[in-house]
Amino acid sequence: MTKPVPRPSVLAIEAYVPGKSAAPGAARVFKLSANETPLGPSPRAIEALRGMADQIALYPEGSSRALREAIGARHGLKPDRIIAGAGSDDLLELLALAYVSPGDEGVYSQYGFLEYRIVTLAAGGTPVVAPETNYTADVDALLGCVSERTKIVFLANPNNPTGTFVPASEVARLARALPSHVLLVLDAAYAEYVQRDDYEAGAALVDAHDNVVMTRTFSKIFGLAGLRVGWAYGPTHVIEALNRIRSPFNVSSAGSVAAIAALSDRAHLDAAVAHNARWLPWLTREITALGLDVLPSVANFIAVRFPETPGLTAADADNFLTARGLVLRAIGAYGMPQFLRLTVGAQEANERVVEALAEFMRNARSQQDAQRDSQADAQADAHG
Ligand SMILES: *Cc1c(COP(=O)(O)O)cnc(C)c1O
């Protein structure tokens, strides 16, 4: 008996496994595993959502016109060069489907966002992985992976799960150096958090080139992850291609309404930026002071490296923290099994994580000392 069989490239995909959100047995759970904002959405978004609840029997306006106009007004972009999606994941997938055929290649960097591999394979393409330098995407390495078969290069900037970024001058160099048949996708999911003069999300590069697209999301700093709203800004020909293949009502009316309201709340956005600007360096400093390595992040999360010593590993720390209701993200699937990714949380969560990690390091070290002492004793006995 045969059964329907997916295309071979589909079977090559490891399904995306989100970070865990539960901590069985813990009295309180602090979910710091999905880069969600501790400030929640703007109260205006919640109010707008409540206000439209009696209209959900109606289909949304299919082109998300009101949302694209609000985004355009806010960012100074032409609404007809914007496409909205069910989260930016929707748009990443549409980009791969539109541009990558079986036999084509999609390039991304070593610790780049895993979705790029999934959408490249889903389109039937071949993922090509460029090595990173110091857990940071390397423009020359990306360019070195480009061939005649390359159709798309994905760059998350800043990147998840590392939190590192590529400066604007380097991204501009990448855009200039790419052959014109290759689409450069700049995924700026965390752009609002970045407080660096040498960072740009990518709109200017989209304007300057015919082969650059920028994706953005309402899931991260705007706190609307559950509603699934993202957008992309690109050349007209790219937006037209995506519009041909997107599903006709790909953004819900609830998502549009809430996103428009969220965009209007500058004070809430500023508060989220300020919160992160305070706690990202604090967490980095405190955790580094415990003797752990923290990758330099410009986003709302940090990747913390643990020793390989039994008792002190990332997996040990994950168990220890989870038992205390502190849920971080294991990132072994990214080839970073020595790391845990920690989202910047509310003050209480941040302080608890640092306290718990301090306790973890003390316990693990004193256990090691005890072991060493008993080994030394045993040796001394053997000799004595
Ligand atoms: C979270 C994230 C996204 C996608 O989020 P959506 O909820 O689908 O908009 C895209 N890229 C990166 C790098 C992310 O971390």
Ligand 1 geometric centre to CA of 119 (Å): 13
H-state helical runs in the chain = 8-11, 43-51, 65-75, 87-99, 115-122, 139-144, 168-177, 203-208, 236-245, 253-264, 266-289, 314-323, 347-383
pLDDT of 66 over the 80 cut: yes
pLDDT of 18 over the 60 cut: yes
Ligand 1 geometric centre to CA of 191 (Å): 11
What tens digit of pLDDT does each residue of 241-279 get? 999 999 999 999 999 999 999 999 999 999 999 999 999
Ligand 1 geometric centre to CA of 162 (Å): 14
Q: Is 351 in contact with 361 (CB distance < 8 Å)?
A: no
What tens digit of pLDDT does each residue of 182-198 get? 999 999 999 999 999 99
Percent of the chain with pLDDT over 70: 99
The residue nearest atom 12 of ligand 1, judged by CA position, is 189
Say if residue 161 is exposed, middle or buried (CB neighbours under 10 Å; 0-12, 13-18, 19+): buried
> What is the C-alpha separation between 114 and 128, in angstroms, rounded?
12
Ligand 1 geometric centre to CA of 310 (Å): 33
Rounded to the nearest integer, the mean pLDDT of the chain is: 95
pLDDT of 27 over the 90 cut: no
Task: Give yes or no for residue 164 CB within 6 A of ligand 1.
Answer: no
Residue 17 pLDDT: 80
> What is the C-alpha separation between 277 and 71, in angstroms, rounded?
24
Q: How many CB atoms lie within 10 A of CB 281?
A: 13
The residue nearest atom 15 of ligand 1, judged by CA position, is 160
Mean pLDDT of 107-117: 97
Mean pLDDT of 125-136: 97
pLDDT of 231 over the 60 cut: yes
Global pTM reads: 0.95
Residue 383 pLDDT: 66
**212-217 vs 183-187, strand pairing mode:** parallel
Pocket test for ligand 1, best of 94, 95, 160 (most atoms within 8 A of CB): 160
Residue owning tokens 């999360």:
301
Which residue ranges form the domains of the chain, and what is each CATH number? 8-38+267-382 (3.90.1150.10), 43-265 (3.40.640.10)
Task: Give yes or no for residue 97 CB within 6 A of ligand 1.
Answer: no
Residue 315 pLDDT: 98
The residue nearest atom 11 of ligand 1, judged by CA position, is 189
Residue 103 pLDDT: 94
Mean pLDDT of 5-27: 83
Task: Give yes or no for residue 219 CB within 6 A of ligand 1.
Answer: yes
Give me the torsion for CA of 260, 266, 268, 274, rounded to 10°: 140
Percent of the chain with pLDDT over 90: 87
pLDDT of 384 over the 60 cut: no
Task: Give yes or no for residue 189 CB within 6 A of ligand 1.
Answer: yes
Grouping H, G, I as helix, E, B as strand and the rest as coil, residue 57 is coil
What tens digit of pLDDT does each residue of 132-148 get? 999 999 999 999 999 99
What tens digit of pLDDT does each residue of 332-347 get? 999 999 999 999 999 9
Q: How confident is the model at residue 65 (pLDDT cuts 50, 70, 90)?
A: very high
For the chain, the maximum distance between any two Cα atoms, rounded to a whole number of angstroms, is 86
Residue 75 pLDDT: 98
